[in-house]
Structure 1
């Protein structure tokens, strides 16, 4: 699809994809056998950060589940890479979670 693809055509294409990847499949997830260690992902991510600030970041992530997931976008991206995929391209601004 391109920018010039009409609204109705995009809508129909989305409905076709939904037949192959139903919404319900997006809510099903089990960690695959080859899942990367989430803690290792955070450690690797911390390597490129200002080291004096990493403990502060982790302390803030410990304050709640929500705060943890806000700070663990790399873990989320890794996990989502194993989930059902429509292969539709979308433009996102900001974090892709319900509070945005």
Structure 2
């Protein structure tokens, strides 16, 4: 099977030939990530106890795929969920 990607290159193994991001694309991605983190933090300020518990439970499920090894990025992702709650708790206190 041949797969065509946006750059017009194709491979027969089902993988995409993705060019590396240039500096401006990385900067734009960082900006968008900061914006999304701010939105998520704001949304967490006004969630119910049930919603918070569900998100905390999901954070506990962040783990490698079956048979995979634990990875530092996986650990950091779970820790970031907790950090979002910490920031939203502080912000909630400031908004009250």
Flag whether TM exceeds 0.5 (same fold): no
Taking structure 1 as the reference length, the TM-score comes to: 0.30
Taking structure 2 as the reference length, the TM-score comes to: 0.30
Instruction: Select the structure with the greater relative contact order (CA < 8 A; seq sep ≥ 6).
Output: 1
Structure number with greater Rg is 2
Give 1 or 2: higher helix fraction: 2
